[in-house]
């Protein structure tokens, strides 16, 4: 009798073990499969190769789309862009799993010791207005002093600055090839009193806060969708102009902030331009932004 009882215990234990094993197998098979892929670097110059590869477990089919109409069916390789811009690379594994990457392709910088450095900027501005200063010429290092402080205010070729006090200021720009600073005079006038109830100002400030949240690494979806649904009438292809010189569709611009400029950019100002027949829907907007010192 005791022997029969022990046999029943062994059978029950075996059944329990089989049930646990089956549950673990089912759980493993039901887990969402993700692509294990890599693209590097994510910022290159024109005609400089990026490298792509995938190591997804038991994958047998790959489709790399490089954002310009060209594709590859290889597991790994390298690719070269011939034009500058932001490109979204999409990998599809086994016709079911996808992963995206954003690549920023820049025009190569040419250095010419015979080129004179000069400044392109307005001669007048309003107090508190964001002014764009452009360094023209070829140099590796740019050092701007806008005259309001005794510090180096920016190290970018294209710099943005807002004067806190009215007055006449002498802007100085130094590079590694200039003996003395290149100078530019600008007159800053007292600011006008802005109407805080202005709807465009409110919209611009709200968009600026949401874009800065994306840069700062906060949840992408809520901030992106807030702008998309409240101001763009759910159109992700609205054109964005950045620093009065670069253009992107809204979706690609936000992905660039998220993946390329994350925690390295300050969104300074957003100017909105709604449709005449629909003031709640933006036709386009302009962004003034500045890279932070590292």
For residue 66, give both structure tokens: 């490089």
pLDDT at 63 over 90: yes
pLDDT at 92 over 80: yes
Q: Band the pLDDT of 6: cuts 50, 70, 90.
A: low
Q: What is the largest CA-CA distance in the chain?
A: 107
pLDDT on residue 27: 53
pLDDT on residue 4: 52
State the average pLDDT for the chain: 84
- Higher per-residue confidence, 98 vs 30: 98
pLDDT on residue 114: 55
The average pLDDT across 203-207 equals 92
Residue 199: other Cβ atoms inside 10 A: 12
The average pLDDT across 144-149 equals 92
pLDDT at 111 over 60: no
For residue 20, give both structure tokens: 């646990």
Q: Which of 230, 229, 227, 233 is nearest to 287 (CA)?
A: 227
Report the alpha-carbon distance of residue 242 to residue 247 in Å, rounded. 6
- Higher per-residue confidence, 45 vs 194: 45
Q: Band the pLDDT of 250: cuts 50, 70, 90.
A: very high
Q: Band the pLDDT of 109: cuts 50, 70, 90.
A: low
Which CATH number applies to 199-291: 1.10.3470, 2.30.30, 3.10.450, 3.30.1450? 3.10.450
* Beta strands, E only, 153-224: 158-162, 167-174, 182-189
pLDDT on residue 32: 58
Q: Which CATH class is domain 37-106?
A: mainly beta
Q: Band the pLDDT of 93: cuts 50, 70, 90.
A: very high
Report the alpha-carbon distance of residue 92 to residue 75 in Å, rounded. 11
pLDDT at 133 over 50: yes
- Name the CATH architecture for the domain at 118-189: Sandwich (2.60)
Q: Band the pLDDT of 196: cuts 50, 70, 90.
A: very low
* Residues 104, 107, 111: CA angle, nearest 5 degrees: 135
Q: Band the pLDDT of 291: cuts 50, 70, 90.
A: confident
The average pLDDT across 192-197 equals 46
> Containing H/E element for 205?
helix 199-215
Q: How confident is the model over 214-241, as pLDDT tens digits?
A: 999 999 999 999 999 999 999 999 999 8
Q: Band the pLDDT of 30: cuts 50, 70, 90.
A: very low
Q: Tell how strand 118-120 and strand 130-136 pair up.
A: antiparallel
Q: Tell how strand 124-126 and strand 182-189 pair up.
A: parallel
The average pLDDT across 196-204 equals 74
Q: Band the pLDDT of 130: cuts 50, 70, 90.
A: confident
pLDDT on residue 195: 45
Q: Three-class SS of residue 101?
A: strand
């Amino acid at each position: 009798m005791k022997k029969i009882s022990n046999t029943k215990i062994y059978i029950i234990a075996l059944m329990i073990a089989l049930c646990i094993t089956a549950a673990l197998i089912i759980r493993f098979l039901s887990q969402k499969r993700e692509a294990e892929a890599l693209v590097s670097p994510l910022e290159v110059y024109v005609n400089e190769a990026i490298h792509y590869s995938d190591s997804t477990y038991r994958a047998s089919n790959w489709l790399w789309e490089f954002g310009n109409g060209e594709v590859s069916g290889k597991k790994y390789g390298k690719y070269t862009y011939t034009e500058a811009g932001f490109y979204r690379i999409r990998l599809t594994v086994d016709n079911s799993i996808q992963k995206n990457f954003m690549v920023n392709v820049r025009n190569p910088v040419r250095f010419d010791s015979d080129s004179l450095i000069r400044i392109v900027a307005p001669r007048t501005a309003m107090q508190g207005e964001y002014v764009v200063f452009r360094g023209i010429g070829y140099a590796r290092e740019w050092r701007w002093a806008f005259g309001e402080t005794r510090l180096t205010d920016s190290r970018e070729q294209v710099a943005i600055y807002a004067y806190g006090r009215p007055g006449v200021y002498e802007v100085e720009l130094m590079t590694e090839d200039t003996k003395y600073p290149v100078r530019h005079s600008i007159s800053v006038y007292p600011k006008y009193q802005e109407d805080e109830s202005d709807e465009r100002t409110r919209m611009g400030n709200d968009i600026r806060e949401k874009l800065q949240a994306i840069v700062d690494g906060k949840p992408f979806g809520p901030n992106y969708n807030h702008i998309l649904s409240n101001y763009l009438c759910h159109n992700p292809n609205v054109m964005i102009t950045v620093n009065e010189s670069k253009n992107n569709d809204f979706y690609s611009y936000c992905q660039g902030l998220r993946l390329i400029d994350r925690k390295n950019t300050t969104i300074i100002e957003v100017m909105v331009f709604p449709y005449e027949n629909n003031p709640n829907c933006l036709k386009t907007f302009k962004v003034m932004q500045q890279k932070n010192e590292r």
